[in-house]
Structures are given as structure tokens and as C-alpha cells.
């Protein structure tokens, strides 16, 4: 009888403890929800205020900035402008002649630049050259994945070789370069990685099916990488910036089409480069050129697709085939 009484007492005590634990967990959950709601709206207010204020720009003077595709177009303009604000520019390009010209122009203007020939399709070349650069120059603070190609014709006219090369340069090369330089950034908990996507990574466009695929891929991997770094170190100081340029007047876009040329004309490489550098120095996660395109894309996803297609047809902006 005593044994039965003791067991009942223990069961009653255990039940009380369990109930107390349940109440405690519920209270904790409520507190967590309150904190979440507070932080959620505080963050929205802070980010909204930032939209109407000028963000401070990081100083890159004396830092090493590596740019792929530095021999021409936006890559060259970024190299010249980074050097103009005191950065030491490391120029990568597969074309030795044009890359050397970029380095020469930087030095003639009083800047510091170093040129290296690199085929970004070959991972082993990237890793070998990255090791050499660490030995010769030390830490690279900013890496700009800019090199890219843009064949413009219908999907059924793309060859296998052309499509594979596009993914090798526009996407896979980014992975290899990040794998080469990110470990040093993680060790020091500093640095910036800039990836050139495109407005073709925001909107699907005819005659650019594989190209759009590569640029959506850049957008996706940068978002995933940012989350991966944040989860490993919530206090990470490594900045990732994804850029979505509209059509740039570099010759890459051979047959642009627009109904309203004054409103949607090609952007000069000089203006595009300045916008990219500003976004990197401000630590923006995403930036379009022009800036409002990211907001337009997000708004467009809230509107029925058929309605957005009416707008697209009205604007009649895109790229015609380069196979005429």
C-alpha cells in the first residue's frame, strides 16, 4: 500500500513538473515572438530610412581589387575608376594585349595595377594564379566577377559548345574564383565579392535563354552564399553584392531593341562602372543599373503574369538575334 502511495506521489510530481515545463516553453515562445515582431518592424523602418539617406562608402584606397574581364568594357572602366580612388588593381583577362593596355592606362594616370592572363574556364589556372597573387600581393580585399559572354539568338540555334562555354564563363568561373579567395576573407572576416548578373537575371528575355539561365544562376548562388556565410558567422563582415545591369554599350549586346530610346537607351560603360563601384563600397546586397529595376522586378512578381506581359509588349524592349 505504501509503495502504491509513493508511486502515485511520484507520478503526480512528474505531471506537475511536465506542466510547468510546458508553461515555461509557451512563455519562452511568446517572448521570442514578441522580440521577432519588434525586430522585424524595427528593421523595416531602418531599411526604409536608408532608402532616403546617403549610405557611407567604404575606403578602398591601398587595398587590392581583383577584376576579371579587365581588358575591355565595364571591366576596364571599373579598373580605371578603382585605381582612380587609390585601389591597387589586379587585372585578369584572357586577352593579354587589351589587359596590358588597361594596366598601362592606369599607370599613366598615376595608379597602381598588375596584369595577369587568365582563362577563367580552367579551374586549375585560377587556383594556380590565385596562389601566385597571394604570394606577390597578399590579401585581396575586393573580387569582382565581371567576365562574361552573351550570344544572342533563339535557344534552338545555340550549339552545345556555345552553351557550355557560356555557363563555364558566366557561372562556373565565379565558383572557382570564390573558392580561391573566399577562405582568406573568412579567416580575416573582411572583404567584398561582387558578381555581375544582369537585368536578364531579373526578367526572362527572348534570344537570351541560356544567357538568362546563367544570370539567374548568379543571382541564386549569391543569395545562397550570403545565407551560408551568415549562418556560419552571424557577425560576418564579408559583403556580397549582386549587380543587375541593363543593356550596356560595350558591344556585348549587338542588336538592342527599344520602343522608347530616350527613356531606355544603352548605358555607358563609364556610368555603369561608377554605379557598380558605389554599390560595392556601400555594401549593398543587390543593385540594378539603373537602381529602380530591382524594385520593378519585385513589384512585377505581385502582378499577374498576363498583365505584366501587356506592359512588356507595350515597352517592346529586348535583344534581337545576332544571326541575321
Which 3 state secondary structure label does DSSP give 110?
A: coil
C-alpha span between 150 and 214 (Å, rounded) = 10
C-alpha span between 210 and 93 (Å, rounded) = 23
Residue 247 · residue 205 · CB < 8 Å: no
C-alpha span between 119 and 155 (Å, rounded) = 26
Q: Catalytic residue among 211, 221, 244, 246, which?
A: 211
Cis peptide, bond prior to residue 239, ω within 30 of zero: no
| CA dihedral over 35, 39, 40, 45, signed as positive or negative | positive
- Residue 114 catalytic? no
**Planar angle of CA 143, 147, 152, nearest 5 degrees:** 150
Please report where in the chains the cell 499577374 appears, as a residue: 304
Please report where in the chains the cell 535583344 appears, as a residue: 319
The beta strand positions in the chain, using DSSP E, are 64-68, 88-93, 112-117, 142-145, 192-196, 239-245, 256-257, 286-289, 318-319
Residue of 267, 150, 268, 274 lying closest to 212 (CA atoms): 150
Going by their DSSP bridges, the two strands 64-68 and 88-93 should be labelled as parallel
Q: Hey, which residues are catalytic here?
A: 211
Amino acid at each position: 500500500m505504501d509503495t502504491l502511495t509513493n508511486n502515485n506521489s511520484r507520478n503526480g510530481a512528474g505531471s506537475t513538473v511536465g506542466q510547468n515545463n510546458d508553461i515555461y516553453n509557451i512563455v519562452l515562445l511568446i517572448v521570442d515572438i514578441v522580440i521577432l515582431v519588434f525586430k522585424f518592424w524595427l528593421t523595416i523602418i531602418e531599411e526604409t530610412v536608408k532608402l532616403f539617406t546617403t549610405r557611407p562608402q567604404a575606403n578602398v584606397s591601398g587595398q587590392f581589387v581583383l577584376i576579371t574581364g579587365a581588358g575591355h568594357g565595364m571591366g576596364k572602366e571599373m579598373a580605371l575608376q578603382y585605381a582612380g580612388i587609390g585601389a591597387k588593381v589586379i587585372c585578369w583577362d584572357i586577352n593579354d594585349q587589351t589587359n596590358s593596355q588597361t594596366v598601362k592606362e592606369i599607370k599613366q594616370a598615376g595608379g597602381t595595377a598588375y596584369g595577369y592572363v587568365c582563362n577563367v574556364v580552367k579551374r586549375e589556372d585560377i587556383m594556380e594564379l590565385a596562389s601566385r597573387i597571394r604570394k606577390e600581393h597578399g590579401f585581396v580585399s575586393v573580387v569582382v566577377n565581371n567576365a562574361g559572354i552573351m550570344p544572342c539568338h533563339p535557344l534552338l540555334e545555340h550549339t552545345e559548345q556555345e552553351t557550355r562555354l557560356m555557363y563555364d564563363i558566366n557561372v562556373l568561373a565565379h565558383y572557382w574564383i570564390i573558392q580561391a579567395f573566399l577562405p582568406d576573407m573568412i579567416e580575416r572576416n573582411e572583404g567584398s565579392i561582387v558578381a555581375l548578373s544582369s537585368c536578364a537575371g531579373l526578367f526572362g528575355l527572348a534570344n537570351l535563354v541560356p544567357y538568362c539561365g546563367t544570370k539567374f544562376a548568379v543571382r541564386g548562388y549569391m543569395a545562397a552564399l550570403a545565407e551560408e556565410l551568415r549562418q556560419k558567422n552571424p557577425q560576418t563582415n564579408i559583403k556580397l553584392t549582386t549587380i543587375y545591369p541593363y543593356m550596356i554599350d560595350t558591344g556585348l549586346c549587338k542588336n538592342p531593341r527599344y520602343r522608347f530610346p530616350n527613356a531606355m537607351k544603352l548605358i555607358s560603360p563609364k556610368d555603369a562602372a561608377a554605379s557598380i563601384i558605389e554599390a560595392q563600397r556601400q555594401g549593398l546586397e543587390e543593385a540594378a543599373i539603373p537602381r529602380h529595376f530591382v524594385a520593378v522586378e519585385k513589384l512585377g512578381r505581385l502582378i499577374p503574369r498576363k498583365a505584366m506581359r501587356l506592359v512588356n509588349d507595350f515597352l517592346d524592349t529586348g535583344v534581337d538575334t545576332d544571326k541575321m
